[in-house]
Amino acid sequence: MILDPSLTAAYVVLATALALSPGPDVLFVIANGIQHRSRGAIASALGICAGSIVHALAAAVGVSAVIAASPIAFDVLRYGGATYLAYLGVKAIIQWYTNKQSVNENSGPIAETSAREVFVRGLVTNILNPKVVVFYFALLPQFVDTDLGQVGLQIFLLGCIHNVIGLVFLICIGLAAGRASGWLARTSMGRWLDGIAGVFFIGLAIRLVLF
């Protein structure tokens, strides 16, 4: 037996409650759903999932502990993540403005962002979020049974459990955002979708720095 059943059951309840609580990951997926429809929402959710796997591995081998204990490393990740989110926000706003000009000038449509690029955005954003590092470092060891041994493996498996629960929830939220975006695209609000997504990204950048 690798995981303690009672500890794992309590952890699943907590992980589910945390997944259902609105947070940066939810807002990020919603923003991508608004901008890139359901395809983009799912790709961003999968990217976040991949990033969480990286964090789970880092927690398992002790890297998270080092980062959490180093204010400089923590700030490097925090400001790096905020800068990347702000870049995505500005890029989305520029795309909104460019699309608006294209419509006014009857030009061809702007090329859409690929699902792979959206996936990478989710991956990078999650990896550069130091709060995920602290979350895994502080929470996962509390549900480890040292008597069972293989502490690193237990931490990694707990991270994977949290990841699966979060992925299911994020995909559901993303699909809803994508459907709403598809409906809005057929209305006069459609031309504002990239701009709205840009505001979401910039808001996330500010949140990462200030909170």
pTM of the model: 0.82
Whether 140 is covered by a domain: the verdict is: yes
Question: How many folded domains does the chain comprise?
Answer: 1
Residue 198 Cα distances to 63, 77, 90, angstroms: 32, 21, 6
Domain holding 130, by residue range, is 25-210
pLDDT in tens, 108-123: 444 467 899 999 999 9
**Residue 200 counted as domain residue:** yes
pLDDT digits (tens, 9 = 90+) for 102-160: 545 444 444 467 899 999 999 999 999 888 888 888 888 889 888 888 889 999 999 99
Does residue 15 lie in a domain region? no
What type of residue is 69?
A
The beta-carbon contacts of 4-13 under 8 Å, at least 24 apart in sequence, are: 4/143, 4/145, 4/148, 7/143, 7/144, 7/145, 8/143, 8/158, 8/161, 10/143, 11/143, 11/158, 11/161, 11/162, 12/161, 12/165
Kindly report, residue by residue over 163-204, the tens digit of the pLDDT. Answer: 999 999 999 999 998 888 777 666 666 567 778 888 888 988
* Residue 147 maps to a domain: yes
Place of tokens 């505001």: 199
Is 91 within the bounds of a domain?
yes
Residue 150 has what pLDDT? 87
Residue 43 lies in a domain: yes
